[in-house]
């Protein structure tokens, strides 16, 4: 009988190990089934609709019966007047959300980790992540009241200090990105910091004891112990965040848009909804959405390779 090769032996061992894990942890795998079904139904099956990007969709003929148009929609978008403006606005919003906001959650997690009073720490953490559960409609409504001309809190403070209290901030294009940054940071900083706090909790306490014995201050312990300890988590979250560079989010942008800031508040996400749902150009909207998805995939792969080469941290 011919002896098994090393590869075949490893395959058999892996199958046996998998069977043992399935038998031992079967309740956990059963709990995983609804999650798998969810992603199949709502993430993978709808991907069949991507063919709309290459078809002249007709309700009568259906998705797969409509006539093929090839790359016509892609050519139309890249040669249109809106292309440059939409890409510029989308990249700016993506840069704000994926890059500028990224360090703040890490800083908050580091600061919360240094709080010794357990009750104060938990209250502070709860207050910071509660805004995440507020809908964009509520937050934008609050902003409209705060930034309203004459009657808004901010304008009243400006007027009390001798300034002009009639500025309509939401109608000024120059304030749009600042308002969006402040709003999104306030909403997500606490929630995003939870992942880093969990990573910090996994650092060996003896490392902090050794650093303290060596005379390291709190700041040095953060720099030489905490940050290297959560480097892997930081790298993974950054790689996943880069994939959303061309996805600015629809709700916030759409609710913050006004006739005054329309030139900078129109992004690919709002354009897709307007063209697809309001104008009925489903193929054109699908083509733009496909561009976003493909670019996001390329960015994730590129960021993964760069991070793996520079920091040895990667998704795969």
Query: What CATH number does the domain containing 250 carry?
Result: 1.10.3720.10
- Asked if 138 and 13 sit in the same domain, the reply is no
Cα gap 251→255, rounded to integer Å: 6
User: Does a structural domain hold residue 10?
Assistant: yes
User: For position 287, what pLDDT does the model report?
Assistant: 92
Say whether both 89 and 22 belong to one domain: no
User: Would you say residue 51 lies in a domain?
Assistant: no
Q: If you compute the radius of gyration of the chain from its CA atoms, what whole number of angstroms results?
A: 25
Query: For residue 68, what are the β-bridge partners?
Result: 55
* φ, ψ at 182 (rounded to 5°): -65, -45
User: Does residue 102 share a domain with residue 10?
Assistant: no
In a domain, 201, yes or no: yes
Assigned domain for 298 exists: yes
If asked whether residues 16 and 124 sit together in one domain, one would say no
The SS3 assignment for 30 reads helix
Q: Which domain holds residue 3?
A: 1-40
Are 85 and 35 members of one domain?
no
Are 269 and 178 found together in one domain? yes
45-57, pLDDT tens digit by residue? 888 888 989 998 8
Q: Same domain, yes or no, for 34 and 99? A: no
Six token digits for residue 116:
């010794």
Query: What is the mean predicted confidence (pLDDT) over 155-183?
Result: 90
pLDDT of residue 246: 81
Burial 86-120, CB ≥16 within 10 A → b, else e = bbebbebbbebbbeebeeebbebbbebbeeeeeee
pLDDT in tens, 54-112: 998 888 888 888 889 989 999 999 998 889 999 999 999 999 988 899 999 999 999 99
Q: How confident is the model at residue 217 (pLDDT cuts 50, 70, 90)?
A: confident
In a domain, 46, yes or no: no
Residue 18 shares a structural domain with residue 119 = no
**Tell me, what's the pLDDT at 104?**
94
Within 8 A by CB and 6+ apart from 94, the residues are 244, 245, 246, 247, 248
Q: Is it the case that residue 3 has pLDDT exceeding 70?
A: no
Residues 90, 33 within the same domain? no
So what's the pLDDT on residue 163?
A: 84
pLDDT number for residue 138: 92
One domain for residues 28 and 89: no
User: For all residues of the chain together, what is the average pLDDT?
Assistant: 87
In a shared domain, residues 3 and 107? no
What total number of domains does the chain contain? 2
Whether residues 184 and 243 share a domain: the answer is: yes
Q: Contact 264/176 with Cβ under 8 angstroms?
A: yes
Per the CB < 8 A criterion, the answer to whether 196 and 164 are in contact is: no
């Amino acid at each position: 009988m011919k002896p098994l090769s090393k590869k075949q032996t490893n395959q058999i061992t892996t199958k046996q190990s998998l069977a043992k894990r399935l038998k031992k942890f079967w309740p956990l795998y059963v709990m995983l089934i609804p999650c798998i079904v969810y992603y199949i139904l709502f993430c993978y099956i709808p991907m069949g609709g991507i063919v709309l990007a290459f078809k002249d969709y007709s309700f009568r003929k259906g998705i797969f019966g409509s006539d093929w148009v090839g790359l016509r929609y892609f050519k139309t978008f890249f040669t249109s007047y809106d292309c440059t403006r939409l890409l510029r606005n989308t990249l700016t919003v993506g840069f704000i959300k994926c890059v500028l906001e990224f360090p703040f959650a890490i800083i908050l997690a580091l600061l919360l980790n240094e709080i010794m009073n357990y009750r104060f720490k938990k209250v502070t953490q709860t207050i910071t992540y509660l805004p995440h559960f507020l809908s964009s409609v509520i937050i934008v409504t609050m902003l409209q009241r705060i930034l309203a001309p004459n009657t808004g809190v901010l304008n009243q403070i400006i007027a009390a200090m001798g300034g002009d209290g009639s500025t309509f901030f939401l109608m000024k294009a120059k304030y749009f990105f600042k308002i969006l940054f402040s709003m999104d940071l306030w909403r997500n900083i606490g929630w995003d910091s939870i992942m880093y706090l969990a990573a910090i909790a996994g650092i060996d306490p003896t490392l902090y004891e050794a650093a303290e014995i060596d005379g390291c201050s709190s700041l040095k312990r953060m720099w030489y112990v905490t940050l290297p300890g959560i480097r892997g988590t930081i790298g993974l979250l950054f790689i996943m965040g880069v994939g959303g560079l061309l996805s600015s989010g629809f709700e916030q942008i759409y609710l913050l848009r006004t006739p005054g800031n329309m030139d900078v508040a129109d992004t690919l996400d709002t354009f897709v909804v307007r063209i697809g749902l309001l104008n009925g150009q489903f193929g054109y909207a699908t083509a733009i959405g496909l561009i976003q998805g493909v670019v996001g995939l390329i960015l994730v792969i590129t960021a993964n390779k760069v991070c793996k080469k520079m920091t040895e941290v990667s998704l795969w």
